[in-house]
Amino acid sequence: AVLKKRLVKLVVNFLFYFRTDEAEPIGALLLEHCRITKEEENVFSISFIEEPERKYCFECDSEEQCQEWIEALKRASYEFMRRSLIFYRNEIQKMTGKDPLEQYGISEEARFQLATRKQ
Domain coordinates in residue numbering, the chain: 7-76, 80-110
φ/ψ of 97, rounded to 5, equals 75, 5
Position 106 scores a pLDDT of 65
Q: For the domain 7-76, what is the CATH code?
A: 2.30.29.30
pLDDT in tens, 71-117: 999 888 777 788 888 888 889 989 999 888 777 776 655 555 555 44
The confidence band for 12, taking pLDDT boundaries of 50, 70 and 90, is confident
Distance of alpha carbon 111 from alpha carbon 101, whole angstroms: 10
User: From the CB of residue 67, how many other CB atoms can be counted at a distance below 10 Å?
Assistant: 14
Whole-model pTM? 0.65
Position 119 scores a pLDDT of 42
What single letter denotes the amino acid at residue 10?
Answer: L
